[in-house]
Amino acid sequence: MINRYVSPSQQANMEDLIDATLGVQPSRAAYVEAATAVVVQSRRFDDSDLLRYLADLHPEIPQEHRLPLLIGATSGANWIASLHAFIERGASNEDLRQEVRDAAARIAEANLGLRSPTDLLGPLLYSSVNSSREEDSVLKKKN
């Protein structure tokens, strides 16, 4: 039961203290939702505003996790954006055909999200440039 005489920020601090005492951690879904919100809002706010935004929107995320979450989310988004830009620039360049395919596969793989250790045993969606070019030369010889 929430005490009506305690401000929401005081209540959140009390809940954080209780959670820390009991060892309760925010769910993975809370981190994913918070990271997505940061990426969506990153064009509108600077880092300090985004940290306040995270504190307001996701008080269940511990304060010491907010900056790493912000850095990870924006870095991941920047990496995907740079791959996308590479694909757009290289789409018409025949010399970059395999690299463009690999970049697209990396984006598709990132879209799968984080995987458990057992999922890591599955095949990767992209291949190295050398092996792909070797496969291409084998295919050309067959034709």
Q: What is the rounded average pLDDT of the residues 113-134?
A: 54
pLDDT in tens, 29-47: 888 899 999 999 988 888 9
Q: How confident is the model at residue 28 (pLDDT cuts 50, 70, 90)?
A: confident
pLDDT in tens, 81-117: 999 999 999 888 888 899 999 999 998 888 877 666 5
How many beta carbons lie within 10 A of that of residue 86, not counting itself? 17
- Ramachandran area for residue 108 (φ above 0: left; ψ -120 to 50: alpha; else beta): alpha
Q: How confident is the model at residue 5 (pLDDT cuts 50, 70, 90)?
A: very low
> Looking at this protein, which amino acid is placed at residue 59?
P
Comparing 19 with 69, which gets the higher pLDDT?
Answer: 69
Question: Is the CB of residue 80 less than 8 Å from the CB of residue 104?
Answer: no
Residues written for the chain? 143
Q: For 23-91, where are the alpha helices, taking DSSP H only?
A: 28-41, 47-57, 63-90
Q: Cα separation of 28 and 47, whole Å?
A: 22
Residue 108 host element (H or E): helix 97-111
Handedness of CA 136, 141, 142, 143 (dihedral sign): positive
* CA 136 to chain centroid: 33
Q: What is the pLDDT of residue 29?
A: 86
pLDDT in tens, 44-86: 888 999 999 999 999 999 999 999 999 999 999 999 999 999 9
Q: What is the pLDDT of residue 68?
A: 94
